[in-house]
Structure 1
Amino acid sequence: MLITDDFLPVPVPETLSATYLVPTSTVPGTTPAQAVAALAGRLSGPVHDLARQMLDSPLMTVDTRPVSEFPHLPPDLLTAFGATEEQLGRLAAATDLVVVQATYRPGWPPAHEWAARTVAAAMAEVVGGDLVDVFGLQFLDPATALRSLPDDEGRMRLVDWVLVPYSSDEEGLWFTTKGLRRFGLLELQAQGVPAHLTRAWGAVMTGTARRLLRTWVDGLTDEEVPAFVQLPVLTAVTGHDIAVAYGNPERHDATGPALLRLELDPATDPEADSFLSLRPPSGHDGPAGRYFAAVCATVFAAAQSDVRYARPGDAMARAVATARSGLPKIRERFLDGGLPAEAQLVVKYGLPTEEGPEFVWAGVTDWSTTDRIHGVSASDAAADPTIRIGEPVVIDTCDVVDWALLDGTGVVEGGWTQAVLDGGNHP
């Protein structure tokens, strides 16, 4: 294998395994094969066939064991990853666990995961309960688990398999992925992410995971499992990567690309995980957080710099009037926590220039007073050198001409003036 400064050799594990649990207080009266057969027509043919083949092979085991024989599952971590009180209650009351385990070689398809999740979902339906993804420490109801499996063309949403938790440290937010190890790849991490980028950076991490996973799988196509796969040190991520990872490829143009540098951070503790760290490219001046803000602005079209001047006309006037009439309501939703999950509020406001106002976007961080908005610039302004990506800004509400809600795939609400500038159709 040729080693260069342009690529990072990442070790490949010999085998991968998946474990799912189904808590129950009654011994199932249906065999796993019968339960999987009952799923015919409810999931793709290839996955259905894969599950049945794995069940008939030594690569999968399905056992019912007393709860006392299995390591304790921490309820605090299960809660952190979305477990409800009802699910935790059923787990606490369970006397037995249906344990589904599968192993497979690294590569595509990830047969161990797809087959084990299928069988566990089938058994959960039999006992009228949920399944626990041990890798992700996450409860799944059977319907959700089955929806996460790929369709007839092998397409799946990466967000159903890879989570992006974060926590605070002295430098800002620390993001990691949890799920790439299912496929043999090291998890990603990023440190020093500004707090106002919580939702946007989570989407960038997911899109980057999707891009790297494709490269990883391409390196595992040989019949023999290699010792290493080379990943590019400079990795590009686009809005399309994010949209595909969220299962909405039609909702985002191929914006970007934005570059991120990969760096291997090996664990010093043999019990801890190693990471692939996302950092700014070499030679970047300034804190990493500012570069991360620039990446978010690049991959989200609605947050890009808009150095186009609003042309007069009825369409633009109506767009501004519509946006401004909605400001009181969107402020109320922002303050009350009534925005959609994973949505970020951005506003568009005008900066005076000799040619007319230059319009830029900013992410809203505080709107406690009606006439003043505190935020963080989502773009560099041409007219004002003090307004730079990632820098704090204070905006008079009277200067706002538009607002939008963004999620990991683009604009989900608002953006009326942008639609006019872009030529017509509302986003």
Structure 2
Amino acid sequence: MSESIGFTVPERTTSCFVVATGRDPGEPPLAALRGLGEPFAGAAVERLGTPRLTISSYPAAYSPWNIEHATGVTDDDPGAEARALDAAHHIGVKALAPAGDRPFALQLARAVACSIAEHLDAVPVDLDTGQILPARSCLDARFRLADDWLGAWLPPYRNAGRCRVSDDDIDGCACVAYTTRGLTRFGLPELRITGVSCPHDLAALNIVRTAAQRLLPMSDQAGDHTFPRDLPLTGRDFAAFWGAREPVWNDEPVVVRLTPAGPHVMGMGPPEDFPGTLNEWLWDEVPPVLYDLISCGTDHPA
């Protein structure tokens, strides 16, 4: 088997955000753009109406966008899912993003969608992740994958009582699987890890996040990229996912093996020479902090 793996970053990608509103907005609500700060305000004026930034509106019954499964209730809007499902109109904000303009082009479209949603008291939905967007992360000019750009979340198995495996049972089940959503808009393959036992769910999620961040610098470089199948992930990679300066761990990198898992998808698992199972690898090789860390501050690890 080849010891290298690769993918092609496309010259252009697209991303779309939908504003679900209860009333007909009429013409695109340009007044909403006045609430944008820089650098988004000037760029929105310059790009609006070009393929780089388009706004269109449809009655929900004729909408080209399916938001039936949008999730992501926030504390300040507990009824967001119901409001999105019952919305009478959909406003789509779409970005065509050349490689050299990523991630800013995607940030701009999301900021415009969130500004329109705030103006109309509506619900913004990220079509790529299927997530209802919290306003807190939409207008920040800094870019961090952790700001709701990556569709991968902890599953509800334990809270729902569906799995009773002990925390001490390393290979007690295989309930948990993660497949990211949202990386393809950056020109990157989605990442998948399967067969994870419930006690390792957070650690596996954090390894997926770290791998996504490790690949991110390739997103603005169109063309073929080749790199080792056994990819080292560092504490600095995981810190960068959150926008933190200091590495989350200082020990040796965690080496993850990437394998083709479908069109635009890469599987993740232990290196080929690891003598145990996937869950034993997570338990033995993943830094303990990744079993506990839910979020991380932007200046230092939490």
TM-score normalised to structure 1 length: 0.58
Q: 1:117 Cα shift?
A: 0.6
Q: What CA deviation, in whole Å up to 9, does each residue of 1:231-271 have, x standing for no partner?
A: 3312111222212212333473443311111111225xxxx
Matches of 2:253 and 2:246 in 1, distance apart? 17
CA contact (8 A) 1:203 1:408 kept: no
- Matched to 1:190, the amino acid is I
Q: How does 1:1-400 map to 2 (within 5 A)?
A: 5-28=2-25, 32-40=29-37, 45-71=38-64, 73=66, 75=68, 77-79=69-71, 81-82=72-73, 86-146=79-139, 149-151=140-142, 155-165=143-153, 171-214=174-217, 216-217=218-219, 220=221, 225-226=222-223, 228-250=224-246, 252-267=248-263, 274-297=264-287, 300=288, 344=292
Q: What CA deviation, in whole Å up to 9, does each residue of 1:325-367 have, x standing for no partner?
A: xxxxxxxxxxxxxxxxxx74xxxxxxxxxxxxxxxxxxxxxxx
> Relative to structure 2, which stretch is displaced further, 108-117 or 60-69?
108-117
Matches of 2:35 and 2:91 in 1, distance apart? 18
Matches of 2:67 and 2:275 in 1, distance apart? 42
Q: What CA deviation, in whole Å up to 9, does each residue of 1:3-39 have, x standing for no partner?
A: x944312133343111111122334478554322332
Q: 1:131 Cα shift?
A: 0.7
Q: 1:157 Cα shift?
A: 4.1
CA contact (8 A) 1:18 1:101 kept: yes
Change (3 A) 1:108 1:193: farther
> Relative to structure 2, which stretch is displaced further, 179-188 or 135-144?
135-144
> Relative to structure 2, which stretch is displaced further, 4-13 or 237-246?
4-13
Q: What CA deviation, in whole Å up to 9, does each residue of 1:349-388 have, x standing for no partner?
A: xxxxxxxxxxxxxxxxxxxxxxxxxxxxxxxxxxxxxxxx
- Matched to 2:5, the amino acid is L
Matches of 1:34 and 1:408 in 2, distance apart? 35
Count of residue correspondences: 281
CA contact (8 A) 2:193 2:269 kept: yes
Q: What CA deviation, in whole Å up to 9, does each residue of 1:304-334 have, x standing for no partner?
A: xxxxxxxxxxxxxxxxxxxxxxxxxxxxxxx
Q: What CA deviation, in whole Å up to 9, does each residue of 1:188-239 have, x standing for no partner?
A: 111222321111221121111101112x236x1xxxx42x222331211122
**Identical positions, percent:** 25
Matches of 2:178 and 2:258 in 1, distance apart? 14
Change (3 A) 1:122 1:208: same
Name the larger-Rg structure: 1
SS at 1:135 equivalent: coil
TM-score normalised to structure 2 length: 0.80
Higher RCO (CA-CA < 8 Å; seq separation 6+): 2
Across the aligned residues of Structure 1 and Structure 2, the Cα RMSD in angstroms comes to 3.1
Matches of 1:86 and 1:178 in 2, distance apart? 24
Matches of 2:286 and 2:241 in 1, distance apart? 16
Matches of 2:132 and 2:97 in 1, distance apart? 23
Q: 1:162 Cα shift?
A: 0.7
Q: 1:47 Cα shift?
A: 3.5
Matches of 1:24 and 1:172 in 2, distance apart? 37
Matches of 1:164 and 1:26 in 2, distance apart? 32
CA contact (8 A) 1:17 1:101 kept: yes
Matches of 1:265 and 1:111 in 2, distance apart? 29
CA contact (8 A) 2:238 2:247 kept: no
SS at 1:162 equivalent: coil
- Matched to 1:217, the amino acid is S
CA contact (8 A) 1:131 1:139 kept: yes
Matches of 1:89 and 1:194 in 2, distance apart? 32
Q: What CA deviation, in whole Å up to 9, does each residue of 1:105-127 have, x standing for no partner?
A: 23452244112111111111211
Unaligned segments of structure 1, at least 5 residues: 268-273, 304-342, 345-405, 411-426
SS at 1:236 equivalent: strand
